[in-house]
Amino acid sequence: MHKYCIGIAVLILGLASACGGSDGDAPVDVYAAASLAEVLPQIAPDARFSFAGSDELATQIREGATADVYAAASSKYPQELFEEGLVEEPVTFASNRLVLIVPRGNPAAIESIEDVVQRGTRLVVAAEGVPVGDYTRTVLATLGLSAALDNVVSNEDDVKGVAGKVALGEADAGFVYATDVTPVADRVLAIELPDGAQPPIAYQVAVVEASDDTDAARAFVALLDAADGRGALEAAGFGLP
């Protein structure tokens, strides 16, 4: 039993060290979806993060960016990079759900998702190719509300851009992940989507093949599945696989 406890302690210390926790170690470089910007630094505070749209980060990796880990808000880009031999096999580590947000003053009087098709509504969404933008278009198509795209006043590069525009009152409504409501909760209201309209949203993570330290990268991925990592994800509102 004593040897077992020592083994667990060594594993935990090794994971912390691999993510940049020990003197002289270069921090692991993590390219991650913008919707993970609040939670990942809690899980690995010594890692070095680059947050952006999952599609943009995938492009950077294809162009030779010096990333160790890639964490995306969908399975699409990790699987593409895996097929191209640019990352190790991706694993699903979290899920999320889509919501509609409006400014707290709700000037357009939007009460449900059906209201976003009203003429004159200023709708902001993420661009096509950005996971949350693709999820948004899937939801609208599922509900027969694709005409709402005629009301789009801005296509954003990532989910933070959508949340920011609505929070500042520059749009009447926008689609974001439920986890992105918390940082702007004092300025927006969230409207849940109808049952059956929610698209499956799977977050996947993978070690980049060109990583300078695959051991550190794999240690970071392991942290996401460890008790503390899963606890932080759940506390932030993410679902677990």
* Domain CATH code at residue 125: 3.40.190.10
Q: What is the DSSP string of 172-216?
A: SEEEEEGGGTGGGTTTEEEEEPPTT-PPP-EEEEEEBTT-S-HHH
Q: 71 is written with which tokens?
A: 């964490």
**179 and 122, same structural domain?**
yes
Q: What is the pLDDT of residue 19?
A: 58
Q: What is the pLDDT of residues 169-210, one digit of tens each?
A: 999 999 999 999 999 999 999 999 998 999 999 999 999 999
Q: Report pTM.
A: 0.88
**89 and 19, same structural domain?**
yes
Give, as one character, the DSSP assignment of residue 21: I
Residues of the chain with pLDDT under 70: 1-24
**205 and 91, same structural domain?**
yes
Q: What is the pLDDT of residue 172?
A: 98
Q: 99 is written with which tokens?
A: 């919501």
Domain of 141, in residue numbers? 98-192
For the chain, how many structural domains are there in total?
A: 2
**157 and 128, same structural domain?**
yes
Residue 59 domain flag: yes
